[in-house]
Amino acid sequence: MEETPARLTAKPSWLLTQLAVHAHRLASDGFGEVGARGYHYRILAVLDEFGGASQAALGRRCNMDRSDVVATINELAERGLVERTPDPDDRRRNMVTLTAAGDRQLHRMERVLDKVQDDLLGPLAAEDRQTLTRLLTLLLTHHQRG
């Protein structure tokens, strides 16, 4: 294997990018084992934590493009993992809610993600994992404000 130039490995941006690619692959592979995708997890997690929501609200909370939200909700609805019903306050929009099957799928996906975190962060002690998560959260929050 070729050695990577020190100019690259000394840059946090390069390291984060390389790690993000690896993390995405691990998560995608894990989700594939339970017949799911990352977008499925985002939608199911939001519905579980915050309750029913419009497709637009789901897109904002999940940081997803509207067309991706619609396609993902269609997939989840076809599998019986979410239910769409007319919003009683505005009949022009749909409310999306989590079904019991969706809750079970979310828990399967949580177990997959727990394993992914262990694989990804394997060399780090528990305290280092918490520190890394805190620092990444700080950076992400800072850049989301701008």
Q: Which residue has the tokens 């394993």?
A: 115
Sign of CA dihedral 67, 82, 92, 89: negative
Beta strands of 2-140 (E only): which ranges? Answer: 53-54, 82-87, 90-98
The pTM is what?
Answer: 0.88
What is the tens place of the pLDDT at every residue in 20-63? 999 999 999 999 999 999 999 999 999 999 999 999 999 999 99
Which domains are seen in the chain, by residue range? 21-119 (1.10.10.10)
What is the tens place of the pLDDT at every residue in 55-84? 999 999 999 999 999 999 999 999 999 999
* Tokens coding 80: 């019986």
* Tokens coding 108: 């399967």
CA distance 43 to 76: 9
